[in-house]
Chains A and B, each alone.
Chain A
Amino acid sequence: MNAPLLKLSAVETRIGAYHILHGVDLDVPRGQLTMLLGRNGAGKTTTLRTIMGLWRPSAGSVQFDGREIGGLATPEIARLGIAYVPENMGIFADLSVRDNMVLAARGARRAEDIDAQRLDWIFSLFPAMKTFWLHPAGKLSGGQKQMLAVSRAIVEPRKLILIDEPSKGLAPAIVANMIAAFRELKQTDTTILLVEQNFNFARELGDTVAVMDDGRIVHRGAMAELAEDQALQTRLLGLSLAAHQ
C-alpha cells in the first residue's frame, strides 16, 4: 500500500532532435496530491505527456500501479484509470458542456447515464457547469473552460489525475475557487499529479512536491518542508514565498 501509484525511473524523452527529459525519477504517492514545479521549459508538460503516452519515452520506465505503461497507446493508458487535463484544456469548443461531459464519461451513452450523485457533486464545486450545461463550450470564459476540463477528469472515478497548470491566466478569485474545489477532490482519496508555476497555489494544495529543472528532478520531498525553507525556494525556484502572493 505504500508503493507509489506512479513511478518514473530514468525516463528520457526525445522529440525530434530535441532531448527534453534527461532521466526523470519521480514517485507519485497514492492518495496524495503531488506538485510538479519548475520554471518554463523545465520539462514538466513533457513529463505529463510522456506518462500519458502522447510521447514515447526513449529510455527508462513508467510504472502505474505496478504495471509498465511505457510503450502503451494513449487510449489504453487512459483506460487504466488515468485522466489528463492538458495545458490548453482540450475542451471541444463546438460541443456543449453536456456533450463534453458525456464524452468524458466512458460508461455513459447519453447525458442521463452519468452518475447523478457525481454530477451533483461536480455542480456543487463548479456551479457554472450547471448554468451553462447546454451552451457550446467555446463560449465559456477562460476560468469556466478550466472548470469544465477538470470536471471532465472527475466525472467518473479515476485512479490518477494529471493536471497541467490549471491556474494559468486565471483571475485570483477563480483561482481561489479552484483551490477550494481541489481541496474537496483530495478528500476523495484520488491521486493527483499537478503541474504548476504558481507557488501559492502549490503550497495550498500540495502534499508532496517535486521540482524539475532541465529535464531532471532536482528536488523532492514534502510540501511543508519546502514551504518553510525560504532559502531552498529561492535556490530552486528563484523566488521566496513571501514575495510571491
Chain B
Amino acid sequence: MSALSMNTTTAPPRAAAIDWAPLLLTPLLALAALPLVGSGSTWFTLTAAGLAMGMIIFIIASGLTLIFGLMDVLNFGHGIFIALGAFVAVSVLGLLPAWTTADSLALNLAAIGLAMLAAMASAGAAGWLFERLLVRRVYGLHLMQILITMGGMVVGEEVIKMVWGPQMIALEVPAALRGALLFGDAAIEKYRLLAVAVGLAVFIALLLVLNRTKLGLLIRAGVQDKEMVESLGYRIHRLFVGVFVAGSALAGLGGVMWGLYQQGVVPQMGARVNVLIFIVIIIGGLGSTTGCFVGAMLVGLLANYTGFLAPKLALFSNILLMAMVLLWRPQGLYPVTSR
C-alpha cells in the first residue's frame, strides 16, 4: 500500500469544483414564491407539499435519466411501469386491510413496504420484458425507440385495463399516515413526510452506488465510452439490462408513491405523469442524477405554487421553467454525456 499512502501535497488543486449554481435554484424559487403567496403558513404548507411531490417525481424520473444516460435509450413508455407499480400496490394493500386500517404506524409502514416491494418486483419484471422484446432491437435508433416504446405503453395500458378494469380505483393512505402535523397555522401531511423520506433515501442510495461502487464506476464509464468498457472485459449488455430493470423498478416504486399521493389510480396515470417526467429530465440534463433531483424539486415546487396562485397556468409554468433553464444551459443543468 506504499504507493497509495504517499501524500500528494505537491499536486495542484483537486478534482473539479462542484457546480453550485443550479443547486441554488430550488431555494431561490421557494423564496421568490414567499411574497407572492403572502401568508407564511400557507407558503410553508405549499413548500412542503411541493418538496414531497418533487421527491416522488424524482424517484420516477431517476430511472429514466439513468437509462438514457447509459444506454442512449429514451423510453417513451416509462409511464407504464409507474401505472403497473401503482396497480400492484392497490392489489397488495387490498390484501392487507387489517394492517392498513390499524392505527399503528409500524403496521402501516410494513404494509406500504410490502406494496413497494411487490410493485418494484413487478415493474422490474415488466422492464426486463420490455428490454428483451422491444428495446433490444432498436439501440441507437432514436426514432424507432420512440415509436416502439410508445406502442409498448399502449399495449401495456390495455393489459392493465384487462386485469384491473378501466376505471379509477381509490387508493387510500393507511390510517396512521392520514392527517397532518400542525406547526402553528401551517400543516404538513404525514404521508408527505414519508414521501420525502423515501425520496431522500433513493437519492442517497443512487449517489452512493454511482460514486462509491465499482458498479457505479462501470455505469459512469459506460456513459462515456461503451466500447472501451467492453474492451476492458466487461459485458456491457448485461449492465444495460440491469440498469433498465432497475430504472423500471424505481418507476414502479414511484408509481406506488404517486398513487397514494393522488389517492387513486387510473390506467392512464403513466401517460399523464410522462410529461412531467420529461420536463424534469430535460431540465436536469439527460443522464444526470443530481440534475434530475434539482429538476424534480423545481417542478414539484412550481406545480404547487402555481396550483395555489394561478391553477390554469400550472402545466404552462413548468414549460416556461423548462424554456428558461434551457436558455441558460441548453443541455440542462448538469449535462453528463458528450453526445
A and B touch in the complex (CB under 8 A): yes
Binding site for B on A (CB under 8 A): 52, 54, 73-75, 78-79, 84, 86, 90-96, 99, 102-104, 106, 108-112, 116, 119-120, 123, 130-136, 139, 152
- A75, B233: Cβ atoms closer than 8 Å: yes
- A92, B3: Cβ atoms closer than 8 Å: no
Rounded to whole angstroms, the CA-CA distance of A135 and B11 in the bound complex is 9
Nearest CB of B to A158, in Å:
10
Nearest CB of B to A192, in Å:
16
Binding site for A on B (CB under 8 A): 1-4, 6, 8, 10-11, 14-16, 214, 217-218, 220-221, 224-225, 227-236
- B230, A94: Cβ atoms closer than 8 Å: no
- B232, A131: Cβ atoms closer than 8 Å: no
Which chain A residue shows the least CB distance to B338? A93
- A93, B224: Cβ atoms closer than 8 Å: yes
A78 in contact with B228 given A103-B218, A111-B4, A120-B2 (CB within 8 Å)? no
- B1, A112: Cβ atoms closer than 8 Å: yes
Which chain A residue shows the least CB distance to B6? A130
Nearest CB of B to A136, in Å:
6
A75 in contact with B235 given A102-B214, A103-B217 (CB within 8 Å)? yes
Rounded to whole angstroms, the CA-CA distance of A79 and B236 in the bound complex is 13
A112 in contact with B232 given A94-B224, A95-B221, A136-B16 (CB within 8 Å)? no
- A52, B11: Cβ atoms closer than 8 Å: no
A104, A109, A130, A135: the one contacting B232 at CB < 8 Å is: A104
Q: A110 to chain B: which residues have CB within 8 Å?
A: 214
Rounded to whole angstroms, the CA-CA distance of A123 and B1 in the bound complex is 12
Rounded to whole angstroms, the CA-CA distance of A226 and B303 in the bound complex is 74
- B8, A130: Cβ atoms closer than 8 Å: yes
Nearest CB of A to B214, in Å:
5
Nearest CB of B to A159, in Å:
13
Which chain A residue shows the least CB distance to B231? A84
Q: A108 to chain B: which residues have CB within 8 Å?
A: 214
- A96, B4: Cβ atoms closer than 8 Å: no
B214, B217, B231, B236: the one contacting A54 at CB < 8 Å is: B231
Which chain A residue shows the least CB distance to B223? A94
A92 in contact with B230 given A119-B3, A120-B2, A131-B11 (CB within 8 Å)? no
Rounded to whole angstroms, the CA-CA distance of A131 and B7 in the bound complex is 9
- A54, B227: Cβ atoms closer than 8 Å: yes
- A78, B225: Cβ atoms closer than 8 Å: no
Q: A106 to chain B: which residues have CB within 8 Å?
A: 232-234
A73, A93, A103: the one contacting B229 at CB < 8 Å is: A103
5 further A-B contacts with Cβ under 8 Å, apart from A75-B234, A94-B224, A111-B4, are A119-B3, A130-B3, A133-B8, A136-B15, A136-B16
Rounded to whole angstroms, the CA-CA distance of A94 and B15 in the bound complex is 10
Q: A54 to chain B: which residues have CB within 8 Å?
A: 227, 230-231
A109 in contact with B236 given A92-B224, A116-B3, A133-B8 (CB within 8 Å)? no
Q: Can you list 10 A-B contacts (CB < 8 A)?
A: A90-B228, A92-B220, A95-B221, A99-B217, A116-B1, A120-B3, A132-B11, A134-B8, A134-B11, A134-B15
Q: B218 to chain A: which residues have CB within 8 Å?
A: 103
- B10, A90: Cβ atoms closer than 8 Å: no
- B231, A131: Cβ atoms closer than 8 Å: no
A84, A103, A130, A134: the one contacting B14 at CB < 8 Å is: A134
Rounded to whole angstroms, the CA-CA distance of A172 and B236 in the bound complex is 37
A95 in contact with B217 given A75-B236, A134-B15 (CB within 8 Å)? yes
Rounded to whole angstroms, the CA-CA distance of A102 and B217 in the bound complex is 9
- A123, B3: Cβ atoms closer than 8 Å: yes
Q: B225 to chain A: which residues have CB within 8 Å?
A: 90, 92
- A131, B228: Cβ atoms closer than 8 Å: no
- B220, A94: Cβ atoms closer than 8 Å: yes
Which chain B residue shows the least CB distance to A100? B221
A78 in contact with B14 given A94-B224, A119-B3 (CB within 8 Å)? no
Rounded to whole angstroms, the CA-CA distance of A135 and B14 in the bound complex is 6
- A92, B228: Cβ atoms closer than 8 Å: yes
Nearest CB of B to A145, in Å:
13
Q: Which of B4, B224, B231, B236 gathers the greatest number of chain A CB atoms within 10 Å?
A: B231
